[in-house]
Amino acid sequence: MGERPYFIELEQALAICAKTTVKLSVEEVDLDNSHNRILATDLQSLVNDPAFDNSAMDGFAMRHQDTLNPPTTLQIIGTIQAAGQEDQITIQSGQAVRIMTGAPIPKGADAILQVELTSTEGNTVTLQKEGMKHFIRKKGENLTKGEVSLAAGTFLTPSRVGLCATMGHPTIPVVKQLKVAIISTGDELKQPGEELGYGEIYESNSFGLAGLIKWLGHIPVRIHCVGDSLDALRNTLNEAATNNDIILTSGGVSMGEWDLVRKIMEDEGDIHFWRVKLRPGSPPLFGLWQNTPIFGLPGNPVSSHVVFRMLVAPWIRNITAATGPIESRANATLSSAVKPTKDCLTLRRVSIEMTDNGLLAHQNIHQGSGNLASMALSEGMVILHPGQESAIGDKVEVIFL
């Protein structure tokens, strides 16, 4: 192998990853299947929203001019509960119509008073206040027909799926989900439910990584664990490359004799970089296996998660031009000291508490990269630049988990 980037900064690693893309395609899915998907094209509204002037309140519609000196008593000439009934009614001076939220405004009316501020007797209503013009929701005030309200790349959250329906779309063009193979490596790994022998542990990385892939809106394909054998690994990688868009491996990328993912990639794959200045998570490699992008993630459970969040997720969002899910970051004040490392971007798991003085970050859990509880029981991670000493009271950037 020739010279290749080694132990590089995260930004450089991201820049190298960005040169590799995967082929995307578009499919049309119905609304029910559009949740957590990435919109493939700009989406225009097929209608005005609202489509007609309507009432924002349950109450009465009337002419505003009639209500200037409350209390005012008006004659009730009808009820409008839904579309289609307003055509038959025109309000004249001295008249009111009972109206429900969302129902069209009858001709002649230009104000609404909510039912709580009225009393009725027979077919008259007494208004305790002036009618309110702003309780009429105007045609097109939210969206006008033809307006692009969701841009290509938008991640379809629940309210956005609702908005697609509001705009009149029964089906939505979305980016076809990427299939991401997840291969765990290590002779010591057993499936939860199996009996553990001495020296064996339960395989956990593939489950967490599968969740992270789903979080991004794609399809995880968990492949059975591969023992520390080059032949088994080669076969599994070949199969994964044939059937998937991206491969993630976990374990076997460090310096050791048995770190076979690194070894096989060095001998038979195409490595674009190896090792990143990130702690936890310095061992990863990125490259191609038979033209399929492959991330070799570290085996330590915290490290594999951190590398996914900091390296894999930004790349996948980038290649799909997705604007979500939004990676939430905030500033917090430290209520305990956190230690940087000399030359790596360092992430420390912390609890984050909302207080009257803003967010407080507290490191109260053992930070070992094998301690998955430190991640699972924390709300966020403090991001420290190399050498950034941080004491109680300092402001730091946190990324939410």
Binding site for ligand AMP (CB under 6 A): 184, 186, 188-189, 201, 203-206, 250-252, 254, 298-301, 370
* Partner from Mg ion, ligand AMP, none contacting 298, C-beta within 5 to 8 A by type: ligand AMP
Q: How far is the CB of 175 from ligand AMP (least distance, A)?
A: 29
CA dihedral angle for residue 80, residue 85, residue 87, residue 91, rounded to 10 degrees: -20
CA dist 258 and 186 (Å) reads 9
CB-based contact 218:177 (threshold 8 Å): yes
* Partner from Mg ion, ligand AMP, none contacting 280, C-beta within 5 to 8 A by type: none
User: To which H or E segment does residue 397 belong?
Assistant: strand 395-400
Contacting Mg ion within 157-176 (CB under 5 A): none
Q: How far is the CB of 281 from Mg ion (least distance, A)?
A: 15
Q: For Mg ion, what does the binding mask look like between residues 246 and 265, x meaning CB under 5 A?
A: -----xx-------------
User: Quick one: residue 78, left, alpha or beta (phi over 0 = left, psi -120 to 50 = alpha)?
Assistant: left
* Between 254 and 336, CB nearer to ligand AMP: 254
* Partner from ligand AMP, Mg ion, none contacting 154, C-beta within 5 to 8 A by type: none
CA dist 116 and 381 (Å) reads 49
* Partner from Mg ion, ligand AMP, none contacting 50, C-beta within 5 to 8 A by type: none
* Between 226 and 398, CB nearer to Mg ion: 226
Residues 6+ apart with CB under 8 A from 268: 234
Q: How far is the CB of 204 from ligand AMP (least distance, A)?
A: 4
CA dist 78 and 24 (Å) reads 57
Q: Which of 104, 106, 186, 281 binds Mg ion (CB under 5 A)?
A: 186
Binding residues for Mg ion, total number by CB under 5 A:
4
* Between 84 and 211, CB nearer to ligand AMP: 211
From the list 159-167, 185-193, 287-295, 381-389, the region that binds Mg ion by CB under 5 A is 185-193
Residues 6+ apart with CB under 8 A from 230: 260, 263, 264
Q: How far is the CB of 201 from Mg ion (least distance, A)?
A: 11
Q: How far is the CB of 190 from Mg ion (least distance, A)?
A: 13
CB-based contact 72:121 (threshold 8 Å): no
The tokens for 260 are 């076979």
Helices (H) and strands (E) counted in the chain, each on its own, are 8, 27
For Mg ion, the binding residues (CB under 5 A) are 186, 251-252, 299
